[in-house]
Amino acid sequence: MESKEITISRGGLEGIYIAETTLCKIDGANGRLWYRGYPPIEVLAENSNYEEVSYLLLFGKLPNRKELSAFRERLKAERDVPPVVFDIVEEMSGRAHPMDVLRTCISSLSIYDEDPEDKSQQANIRRAIKLIAKTASIVAYMGRYRQGKDYVPPDSSLDHSANFLYMLTGKKPDEMAAKLIDLMFILHAEHGSNASTFSTLVTGSTLADVYAAVTAGGAATLKGPLHGGGADEAALRMMYSIGDPDNTETYIEEALEGGKRRIMGFGHRVYKAYDPRAKIVRKYLELYQERNPSEEVSRLLQIALRAEKLMLEKLSKTKGIWPNIDFFAGPLYRAIDVPAELFTPIFAASRMVGWCAHLFEYWQNNRLFRPLDNYVGEVDKKYVPSTRGSDPLAHTPGTDMGGWVWMHGLRCPGGTATIVVFTLRRYIYFQ
């Protein structure tokens, strides 16, 4: 066999650029993040809102007042969910992982598309708006149903994130709680070619529709524990395991000794500095705790800060393992009464706009993803037929069947090749 030098990417396509984009820039070395080239994420987190950020990601520019108002109205008009969603949530909850429930609900939305054959940009924007609005409502109902509570209809007087929290808790959030949930939606809206975005693009590159791409790609991929699937929930569980803030240092030291336990919420594939989103979450969590003291959140925050201090001393400056957004997310969600099992579904609801925006950008110059793998196994191994049963459809090797010769799929005498395709109990022959 001809040999040639083959370059194989490091595991997980690390260091490989799969597309050009104007959506998001991550400076992992210095811990900086931009959406569409606008001032760093800290500025958007402080001054913007999720609707404005969604418009920015979908259309490539910040909206003026009229455009933002119209966009908000389009989102509000799509908030309610169809009856099939209630059926799916009620049938699957308690029997399936929350992300399995959400994935199935998102997929079901395709049957309500007004014109599935319309592939225009305008139609796809309409689908994106539908998915952004309805996914948040679905997640809220998932939370309600798991708590044995009734569906709360959307409130058109509330912005997107505040309405989500209202539909989840049944209470209109105060200004600070509304800011916190909006902050989390903004910070999770987009983050480059991560695993779920990449899988969305792979599915979309086949020219499957938007629903298929964000279902098979985004929502399905996000379930995995190495990407979104419960990392913030795991960090919160660790804090609950520590229990008393005074146990923090002992827990961390024992975990680091011989690698007995992984310290959740630290380390990132891209950031080799402090995740800028984690800094923002920490800042607002401390601010919220000052204004709305909670014994539970106070304890969690003390544990988080003491763990962070020790980890910075032990690993951050020496090995580049810094806090990521998941570390402080759990205590922040608990501060506004969001249950842990919804952390990843909320991630999906927030990231829906990022998945759609990347998909639409890639479709502008679409090419089917078809990488190669380097075969390292043996070739031309001896074929030994398995024992033949009394199959009435079986043929004796060498039997003439109207010009076709059955030879167990081997090369026939005279150079004629017979390829045999098995479909259940039928054989199809190609000469």
- Which residues are annotated as catalytic? 268, 326
- Would you state the structure tokens that stand for residue 188, as one six-digit string? 């999770």
204, 369 Cβ separation under 8 angstroms: no
First to last CA, the chain: 26
Beta bridge partners of 96: 93
- Would you state the structure tokens that stand for residue 195, as one six-digit string? 């695993």
The owner of tokens 């054989």 is 427
CA–CA separation, 391 and 47 (whole Å): 73
**Which DSSP state fits 262?**
-
| Cα dihedral value 390, 395, 396, 399, nearest 10 | 160
- Would you state the structure tokens that stand for residue 414, as one six-digit string? 């005279």
144, 152 Cβ separation under 8 angstroms: yes
- Would you state the structure tokens that stand for residue 96, as one six-digit string? 């399936």
Encode burial over 132-149: b for 16+ CB neighbours within 10 A, e otherwise. Answer: bbbbbbbbbbbbbbbeee
Q: What's the length of the chain?
A: 431
Encode burial over 344-372: b for 16+ CB neighbours within 10 A, e otherwise. Answer: bbbbbbbbbbbbbbbbbbbbeeeeebeee
The CA angle 216-221-86, to the nearest 5 degrees, is 65
Instruction: Give, in order, the Cα–Cα distances in Å from 409 to each of 209, 262, 414, 422, 425.
Output: 39, 52, 15, 11, 16
